[in-house]
């Protein structure tokens, strides 16, 4: 059996570890920035120009918010284009609902410290518009955020792009979603702790009925 392949879109460089679900996968990096020596250097809006059905999985962490809202469906459709049937995509984005709740409940200014990170203090401004120090130091506008998501809005976007079963969870200022192209195998479902019976039937569910990934 050939080794499964995961395409890490917008992952910066391969030294950043992927989640444990991708253990044993061949890790291929796509990024618009050549600095991290990606395997494929291109804009994710151009994924539809690549050969279809190449990858078993796509990992997209804190990247989708870097595209304008009107380009999100193009990017997601490109993900679906390069996925094999039965493959899946994992998307992680900032959770705007949780951010705004913390701002209101904590009476935070947009430039107050929201939390401390390894890169330094993070402001609400950084979560909404992109990490300001990175944008300033790099001089690259592609590090800026151009849209935002809630759990429901991300799931709706995945549904519009044609993904079938969609699972999502929220926590730690993040929405984490997993969506499948067609019917996943029991092995693939097991990666996410999902029971085999969840594949029948494979339908695009309304947001209110969409499954939640624990």
Write down the pLDDT at residue 203. 37
User: How far is C-alpha 148 from the geometric centre of its chain's CA atoms?
Assistant: 12
pLDDT at 197: 55
Considering the chain, what percentage of its residues have pLDDT values greater than 70? Answer: 91
Q: Which CATH superfamily is domain 5-94+149-212 in?
A: Vaccinia Virus protein VP39 (3.40.50.150)
In whole numbers, what is the pLDDT of the chain averaged over residues?
91
Residue 11 confidence class, pLDDT cut points 50, 70, 90: very high
* Helix (H) or strand (E) run with residue 16 in it: none
The mean per-residue pLDDT over the stretch 112-120 comes to 94
pLDDT, position 212: 52
Per-domain residue ranges of the chain: 5-94+149-212, 96-148
DSSP notation for 38-71: -SEES-GGGGGGSPSS-EEEEEEES-GGGS-HHH
Asked if residue 65 has pLDDT above 90, the reply is yes
CA separation for the pair 156, 153 (Å, rounded): 5
Per-residue pLDDT, 88:
98
**Is the Cβ–Cβ distance between 39 and 28 less than 8 Å?**
yes
pLDDT band at 164 (very low <50, low <70, confident <90, very high): confident
User: Is pLDDT at 149 greater than 70 in this prediction?
Assistant: yes
The per-residue pLDDT for range 90-108, each reduced to its tens digit, is 999 999 999 999 999 999 9
What gap in Å lies between CA 68 and CA 121, rounded to an integer? Answer: 26
Q: Tell me: the pLDDT tens digits for 21-55?
A: 999 999 999 999 999 999 999 999 999 999 999 99
Write the Ramachandran bin of 147: left for phi over 0, alpha for psi from -120 to 50, otherwise beta: beta
């Amino acid at each position: 059996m050939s080794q499964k392949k995961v395409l890490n879109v917008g992952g910066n460089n391969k030294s950043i570890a992927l989640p444990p679900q991708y253990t044993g996968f061949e890790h291929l990096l796509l990024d618009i920035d050549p600095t991290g020596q990606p395997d494929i250097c291109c804009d994710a809006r151009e994924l539809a120009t690549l050969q279809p059905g190449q990858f078993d999985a796509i990992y997209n962490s804190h990247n989708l918010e870097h595209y304008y809202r009107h380009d999100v469906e193009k990017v997601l459709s490109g993900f679906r284009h390069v996925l094999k049937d039965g493959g899946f995509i994992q998307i992680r984005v900032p959770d705007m609902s949780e951010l705004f709740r913390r701002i209101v409940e904590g009476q935070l200014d947009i430039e107050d410290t929201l939390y401390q990170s390894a890169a330094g203090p993070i402001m609400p401004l950084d979560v909404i518009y992109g990490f300001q120090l990175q944008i300033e130091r790099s001089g690259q506008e592609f590090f800026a955020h151009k849209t935002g998501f809630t759990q429901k809005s991300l799931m709706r976007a995945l549904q519009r792009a044609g993904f079938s079963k969609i699972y999502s969870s929220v926590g730690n200022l993040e929405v984490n979603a997993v969506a499948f192209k067609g019917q996943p195998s029991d092995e693939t479902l097991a990666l996410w702790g999902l029971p085999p019976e969840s594949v029948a039937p494979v339908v695009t569910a309304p947001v209110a009925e969409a499954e939640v990934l624990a």
